[in-house]
Amino acid sequence: MKTEKLMVRPLMGIEVLQSTNTEMIKVSDFLKEVNTLRVKKGLSEKNLSSYFDNLHTREYLDALALYEDIPVDELRIVKRGKYGGTYVHPLLFIDIALWVDPKLKVEVYSWLSDNLLNLRNSGGDSFKTYNTALNKSYPEEVNKNTYMNVATYIQKACGVCGTKDKWERATKEQLELRDEIHTNISVLAGVIPKLVDCVRLAVKKAKDDEL
């Protein structure tokens, strides 16, 4: 099982958290931030209990569970511990966001379909692939510090080095650049005599392709 991370995804100036394992979205934190904004506008606060007690919600939950072929209870989970809070299915999150403010419809749909989570997860897979390529092509150069040094070099190239949670807060463009660098390393490994030259060329080629 992959180590769970929470992807940070901005929406309306709010940092929305989405699990990289389950794709469930932490709605409790989102609603807390939304309510802060609503109070500033002189509006009443919204609470999840009112949403889930609504007839529309119960009907929607039944339809969504049938569509996903899962029990209704699995559409919403409450977690404790490090990542504690209330998490909901992405399509349920959309309905909640629209319930909070129907004007968000276009923005929420666009936000959820931006492919950011898939890019984050695919980067983890390509990370393993290029490390395998380096180990196979440069066995005499690879040591326990090599992977860390290469990863740091890639982070700097993508502009995320030194930031908290690095890739969990990366933009779509940064994640796409990382994926291309990983792919380039895997292709160039073994063709370029030295490991350091392979990595540098992979980064240069990816950044040149951005232009």
**C-alpha pair distances (Å), 10 with each of 28, 46, 93, 111, 209:** 15, 20, 14, 9, 27
* Residues written for the chain: 211
Number of domains in the chain: 2
Residue 27 phi/psi, 5-degree rounding, is -85, -25
Domain hosting residue 178, numbered range: 116-210
Residue by residue, pLDDT tens for the chain (211 residues) are 467 788 888 777 788 888 888 889 999 999 998 888 888 888 889 999 999 998 989 999 999 999 899 999 999 999 887 778 999 998 898 888 888 876 666 666 666 656 555 656 665 666 778 888 888 888 888 887 888 888 889 888 888 876 666 777 777 788 888 888 888 888 888 678 889 888 888 888 888 765 5
Residue 15 phi/psi, 5-degree rounding, is -85, 105
- 190 shares a domain with 137: yes
- 182 shares a domain with 121: yes
Looking at residue 26, its pLDDT comes to 93
CATH number at 57 reads 3.10.260
For the CA atoms of 204, 205, 206, 207, the dihedral, rounded to the nearest 10 degrees, stands at 50
- Name the domain boundary from 91, 112, 133: 112
State which amino acid sits at residue 182: H
